[in-house]
Amino acid sequence: MRLLVIDDSRAVRLVLSKFLGELGIESAQAGDGLEALEAFEGDLDFDGALVDWDMPRMNGLEFVQAIRERSEFDGKKLIMVTAQTSMGNVVEAINAGANDYLMKPLTKEMLEEKLRLVGLID
């Protein structure tokens, strides 16, 4: 299991990567959607990504849309992990192709439950 943690906050990336490590999941990090897209293109072994919404260059919603437009990424699980809490944002992310949505702040247990719900862990 390998996930990409995408967030413009280094601190958030470190916390999420720590949580994933404690759950036995390997992770890599990207600081924005463009960096993440390059990472996905260079390494098809990612099972999915945790995606922040508000980032420079390419935001999380644009990243999700870009991934869902390309068949080589079919089956990749994408979870929005963001402070965007409006129901409209949740609907927009799911309609764009996110598998689920997790609102910040979060706990390791909340992340674990979402990973279980989308089928990334048992």
pLDDT tens-digit readout, 70-92: 999 999 999 999 998 899 999 99
User: What is the residue-averaged pLDDT of the chain?
Assistant: 96
Q: Which residue has tokens 């390791």? A: 108
> pLDDT band at residue 65, thresholds of 50, 70 and 90?
very high
Show the domains of the chain with their CATH numbers.
Answer: 2-117 (3.40.50.2300)
- Rg over alpha carbons for the chain, rounded to the nearest Å, is 13
Identify how many contiguous H helices and E strands the chain contains and give both numbers: 5, 5
